[in-house]
Homo-oligomer: A and B are copies of this chain.
Amino acid sequence: MKPTIVRNIKRAGADVVKALGDMGVATVHEAQGRTGLMRPFMRPIYPTAKVSGSAVTVLCHPGDNLMIHAAMEQAKAGDILVVTTVSESTDGMFGDLLAVSARSRGVVGLVIDAGVRDVADLTAMDFPVWSRAIHSQGTVKNTPGSVNVPVVCAGAPVNPGDVIVGDVDGVVVVPRERAMEVAEAALPFLDNIGRERYIRETGKNPWLKKPPGK
């Protein structure tokens, strides 16, 4: 693919992103008709990792993290980097320095169909990462790739600005245009604990007026 950097992308509203995160991966996946789930080899680096945000997509050459650096320029508060490579790789493309840089820009997490390193530091920072592998293998910065183009990450299509939800159950992708619709469709899937958490965390109680069936 011709290397491309797309600078302006649309994102879903912060409210709906937060609501989807509160609901969790399994519920959101159900609510959108069981689509958008990444493969089960994508695991969090620590079991309490939990996040939602807007996708900044990054397409890299294997063993080369040049475009993660480039993507930092395009990231805004609330974004999640979604990194994939043009062919399969487990190299450790992201570590503590990039995490510090990401956090300073408000990036809230990383989903990478490749490897990650400095996991002790990332865990101490509570910077959530879902990856295919933990591997110290370093990378070069030689070969151009793309930022904010459509990608397939761990089997799921991701467009820039899509909502990403990650927790111990995995990672699910919600298309940006459908985010509000999916959040509403998810409400009936919440059990009592989920409803209380939703009300507490969003300050809204959609069950007050319109109690969902079952």
Q: CB within 8 Å of B: which residues of A? A: 1-2, 24-26, 29-30, 33-35, 37, 39-40, 43, 46-47, 61-64, 86-92, 95-97, 115, 117-121, 123, 133-138, 140, 142-143, 150, 152, 155-157, 167-170, 172, 191, 193
Contact = CB atoms under 8 A, between A and B. Distances in A.
Contact of A90 (B2, B88, B120, B142): B88
A87 B63 contact: yes
B170 A34 contact: no
Closest 7 CB pairs of A and B: A40-B135, A40-B133, A62-B63, A26-B136, A142-B142, A62-B62, A136-B169
Contact of A63 (B29, B33, B61, B117): B61
A137 B87 contact: yes
Contacts of A136: 25-26, 29, 37, 169-170, 172
- The A interface is mostly helix, strand or loop, or mixed, namely loop
Contacts of A138: 26, 29-30, 34
A120 B167 contact: yes
Contacts of A29: 136-138
Nearest to A124: B193
Contacts of A88: 39, 88-90
B157 A40 contact: no
Given A26-B117, A63-B61, A170 B134 contact: yes
Contacts of A64: 61, 63, 143
Contacts of A123: 47, 168
Contacts of A30: 138
A29 to B, nearest CB: 5
A196 B183 CA distance: 46
A169 B37 contact: no
